[in-house]
Amino acid sequence: MELLIRPRRLRGNPALRSMVRETRVSPSSLIYPLFVREGQGVIEDIPSLEGQKRYSPDTLPFELEQVCKAGVNSVMLFGIPTQKDEQGSGAWSEHGVVQQALQIAKREFPHLYMITDVCLCEYTSHGHCGILCGDRVDNDRTLPLLAKTALSHVQAGADMVAPSDMMDGRVGAIRALLDQNGHEDIPILSYAVKYASAFYGPFREAAGSAPAFGNRKGYQMDYHNRKEAVKEAALDVKQGADMLMVKPALSYLDVVREISSTFSLPTAAYSVSGEYAMIKAAAKAGLADEIGLICETAVGVFRAGADVLITYFAKELAQWMQEGRIG
């Protein structure tokens, strides 16, 4: 058969496939989420996230050493306090769990880029992401507390803050308070597009952040909406966001593409706990190749347009990238 065009010619061997690869990734594009809980000597398994652990500030360096050895340069910290109250005051405490962890981490690993999740849900007794007015989250009363939390993280050593609460105006409030305190150079990675998703279940068990009543659909986005995602991202850009995030990742690759194509800021995507747990469960049941699933899904997020991937598989992916299994 006479065929002039044969796409298979460029698939003949590994060297050629690597040469013409359209999507290329590196360990520097990965962020590893870590859970830090109050206490001492804590290294405990997270049942809902097989292979992941909670650390206390004093044991966190053991894991950070492994993170560095794997070739991951950036981590994101989530705090789990012992005491909670209606306002979530532990979030901005000078001696809070994240603040303690930052001080230790920056002292022992000054080169490691430290990002902090900024939200109140782990710290409030009711589990919602802001101050309550009856059974509704009061958007405007919550903003100063989120800004205080971000400032306290930066003062403790955070290199970047990432507000995840989905309150209107929170990026502007954080940017203003950081600038007023001489932190104009600290970037904000905004959870600009965060959907009310069923994929967050394992995280809420891991962080103890499930709402005590109701749900978060009043402030997180409806997963039917794509145009609203552009609207949310545009508002955060106007308020001073430096990077934009889409969360979750796999069910929202169209949104990742939309945000990446519409805005000139770097786009991050968060491959969330439910995505991680599904891969682990499928592999454990013998239904799929775990390494294959991890690599294929990660590349899918980058192919959709993400510049940065936040993933619980960051250490494995970084190692495989350096070994040439994925790249």
Sole residue written with tokens 């001492």: 40
Other CB atoms within 10 Å distance of the CB of residue 112: 17
- Asked if 247 is an active-site residue, the reply is yes
Both tokens of 47, joined, read 């049942």
Distance between CA atoms of residues 169 and 180, nearest Å: 17
Catalytic residue among 84, 148, 194, 280: 194
Could you tell me the end-to-end alpha-carbon distance of the chain, in angstroms, rounded to an integer? 35
Q: Which of 44, 15, 5 is nearest to 324 (CA)?
A: 15
Sole residue written with tokens 């009061």: 138
Residue 18 CB partners (closer than 8 Å, separation 6+): 324, 327
Residues forming a β-bridge with 74: 31, 113
Amino acid letter at 36?
V
Q: Is 244:237 a contact under the CB 8 Å cutoff?
A: yes
Q: Is 98:156 a contact under the CB 8 Å cutoff?
A: yes
- Asked if 106 is an active-site residue, the reply is no
Catalytic residue among 148, 247, 280, 315: 247
Residues annotated catalytic, as ranges:
194, 247
